[in-house]
A and B are shown apart, each in its own frame.
Chain A
Amino acid sequence: MTSRSAFWRGFADCAPFILIVIPYSMMFGVVARDAGLDVFRTMAMSVLVIAGASQFTALTLLKEDAPVFVALLTALVVNLRMAIYSAALVPHLGHARLGVRALMAYLMVDQAFAVAVKRYESPPPLSPAERVAYYFGCMMLICPFWYGGTLAGAILGQAIPASLSIDFAVPVCFIALVAPGLRSLPHVVAALTSVAAMLVFSGLPWSLGLLVATLCAMGAGVQTELYMRRRADRRTTA
């Protein structure tokens, strides 16, 4: 596989997410205009941040007249998960030049990250150059649609009927992302812990519940994996 074909492979593998990025970004455009931002400010936020969940969080808190530092901290906490993405990509993409990695960092989004890492971890292995090309194939697809969708939503705005329940596209997208990955017991335990911990900690201030639930769930996944490994070891030695 050449770098060029790896790029298009990534592009194709991420293509299904266009269907979800379009409504998601349009919804942000609609919600931002509704909150009183003009088209320019709405676009500025989508271009400078490109992180939907945190943009929605920031917007909601701004509307509620929360202090800027509280809104900022909350939205950054929502994005802290990307530090984990950043670390997870190091073994696969850490070899690239600094300038390339700087661009990769700007383009790092949930859906494309999940697709890219899933590909890197399945056979057949890609060469280092192919991994870089595949990453850009994934990310380049999402980014223009994110901008375009925000712009369309901001301009069309009020024309979208509330009866379309476009807000539901957000959790459906996350469900579609996570469900296929729950193939082993430790992954299922991690997911169930994540839900349970979120229910317990959702009342924590500043969206800290998400971070706490994530850390609990990762720990639960690892502990389940270690437990299964120990049990398998005992069985083979006995």
Chain B
Amino acid sequence: MIDDRAFWLLTAGLGIGTYLIRFSFLGLLGGRTLPQWLLMHLKYVGAAVFPAMITPLVLWPEATGGQIDPARLIAAAAAFVVGMRFSVLGAIFTGMGSLYLLQALGL
């Protein structure tokens, strides 16, 4: 059971903290230009953040109790290939669709 005081402390803190992170540069540094080295690094933010977020979710999914699930690995790979070659929406449908297919096949 979640303690009510702990919940509200955490939610308020997370709400305010997350807002301040989002506001940081956009709010406080307004129209200032960023140094070249920083801009260069920012180009790779997406490619740097998402794979690190994906890795544990695909390798050790909570739904399987953290066990490696071949169906999810294959479905993730299929989504990746379709995402690279075709489209965002295609990747989503392929990912979920191939997982359902593999589960239906008993993998």
Of A44, A175, A222, the contact of B80 (CB 8 Å cutoff): A175
Residues from chain A with a CB closer than 8 A to the CB of B32 are 90, 94
A202–B54 CA distance with the chains assembled, in angstroms: 12
Whether B92 pairs with A16 at a CB distance below 8 angstroms is yes
Q: Decide yes or no whether B61 CB sits under 8 A from chain A.
A: yes
Residues of B within 8 A of A (CB): 1-3, 6-7, 9-15, 17-19, 21-27, 29-34, 37-58, 61-63, 72, 75-76, 79-84, 87-89, 91-92, 95-96, 99-100, 103
Whether A168 pairs with B96 at a CB distance below 8 angstroms is yes
Q: A72-B13, A210-B52 are in contact. Are A182 and B84 (CB under 8 A)?
A: yes
User: Which of B27, B42, B58, B88 has most chain A Cβ within 10 Å?
Assistant: B88
Q: Label chain B's interface by main secondary structure.
A: helix
Indicate with 1 or 0, residue by residue over A199-222, a CB within 8 angstroms of chain B CB atoms: 100100000011001111111011
Indicate with 1 or 0, residue by residue over A44-75, a CB within 8 angstroms of chain B CB atoms: 11001111011100100011000010011001
Q: Label chain A's interface by main secondary structure.
A: helix
Whether B75 pairs with A88 at a CB distance below 8 angstroms is no
Tell me the minimal C-beta distance from B48 to chain A in angstroms: 3
Whether A194 pairs with B38 at a CB distance below 8 angstroms is no
Q: Decide yes or no whether A86 CB sits under 8 A from chain B.
A: yes
Whether A222 pairs with B40 at a CB distance below 8 angstroms is yes
Tell me the minimal C-beta distance from B94 to chain A in angstroms: 8
Indicate with 1 or 0, residue by residue over A85-128, a CB within 8 angstroms of chain B CB atoms: 11111110111001001101110100000100100000000000
Whether A217 pairs with B92 at a CB distance below 8 angstroms is no
Whether B42 pairs with A180 at a CB distance below 8 angstroms is no
**Which residue of A is nearest B88, CB measured?**
A176
Whether A101 pairs with B26 at a CB distance below 8 angstroms is yes
Residues from chain B with a CB closer than 8 A to the CB of A227 are none
Whether B50 pairs with A221 at a CB distance below 8 angstroms is no
Residues from chain B with a CB closer than 8 A to the CB of A221 are 41, 43-44, 47-48
Whether A175 pairs with B34 at a CB distance below 8 angstroms is no
Of A48, A88, A175, A182, the contact of B47 (CB 8 Å cutoff): A182
Q: Decide yes or no whether A84 CB sits under 8 A from chain B.
A: yes
Whether B18 pairs with A54 at a CB distance below 8 angstroms is yes
**Which residue of B is nearest A60, CB measured?**
B62
Tell me the minimal C-beta distance from A182 to chain B in angstroms: 6
Whether A89 pairs with B26 at a CB distance below 8 angstroms is yes
User: Which 8 residue pairs spanning A and B have beta carbons closest together?
Assistant: A179-B83, A48-B15, A221-B44, A217-B48, A172-B95, A176-B91, A194-B51, A213-B52
Whether B19 pairs with A106 at a CB distance below 8 angstroms is yes
Residues from chain A with a CB closer than 8 A to the CB of B57 are 170-171, 174
A169–B47 CA distance with the chains assembled, in angstroms: 19
Q: Return 17 A-B CB contacts under 8 Å, by A number.
A: A16-B89, A36-B2, A49-B11, A49-B18, A62-B2, A82-B22, A83-B24, A84-B42, A105-B22, A105-B23, A162-B63, A165-B96, A174-B54, A176-B88, A178-B47, A202-B55, A217-B47
Whether B41 pairs with A218 at a CB distance below 8 angstroms is yes
Whether B46 pairs with A178 at a CB distance below 8 angstroms is yes
Which segment of A2-10, A148-156, A183-191, A230-238 sits at the interface? A183-191
Whether A37 pairs with B50 at a CB distance below 8 angstroms is no
